[in-house]
């Protein structure tokens, strides 16, 4: 993950709380106040979705992160963010709020 991307994520997410990243899954987990909101894979941010939030991401033209498993492609519950969300903290806020809600509902939002 590039230093420029880390700095940009801090600009976008710092208004929400303390931002940290941790290497995992061949990418990095993105946490705000200890809640894993997303992952960075292949230099792109993907935010957590669930059944309640996925339609918002679909309507915005976002796509899930898919990787090639041993036998077939595996679709993760992390979706790309709309390009406009990467432009400012205000534009990112609603997407990050949806991701936080999905992470907390999922029960895996807290890091160990």
68-99 residue pLDDT tens: 888 899 899 999 999 999 999 999 999 999 99
Flag whether 64 is in a domain.
Answer: yes
Flag whether 112 is in a domain.
Answer: no
14-68 residue pLDDT tens: 999 999 999 987 889 999 999 999 999 989 999 999 999 999 999 999 999 999 8
Structure confidence at residue 108 as a pLDDT band (50, 70, 90): low
The rounded distance, in Å, linking the Cα atoms of 96 and 107 is 17
The rounded distance, in Å, linking the Cα atoms of 55 and 27 is 25
Flag whether 111 is in a domain.
Answer: no
CATH number at residue 84: 3.30.1460.30
Flag whether 76 is in a domain.
Answer: yes
Flag whether 19 is in a domain.
Answer: yes
Total domains present in the chain:
1
Flag whether 90 is in a domain.
Answer: yes
* pLDDT score for 15: 93
Q: Of 84, 89, 67, nearest to 76 (Cα)?
A: 67
Q: Which residues contact 59 (CB under 8 A, 6 or more apart)?
A: none
For 29, the domain range is: 3-106
pTM: 0.89
């Amino acid at each position: 993950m590039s230093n420029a991307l880390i700095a940009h994520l801090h600009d976008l997410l710092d208004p929400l709380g303390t931002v940290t990243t941790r290497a995992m899954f061949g990418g990095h987990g993105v946490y705000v106040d200890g809640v894993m909101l997303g992952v960075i894979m292949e230099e792109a941010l993907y935010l957590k979705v669930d059944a309640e939030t996925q339609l918002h991401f679909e309507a915005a033209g976002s796509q899930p992160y898919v990787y090639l498993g041993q036998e077939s492609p595996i679709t993760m519950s992390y979706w790309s963010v709309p390009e406009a969300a990467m432009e400012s903290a205000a534009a990112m806020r609603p997407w990050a709020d949806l991701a936080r809600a999905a992470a907390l509902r999922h029960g895996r939002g807290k890091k160990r």
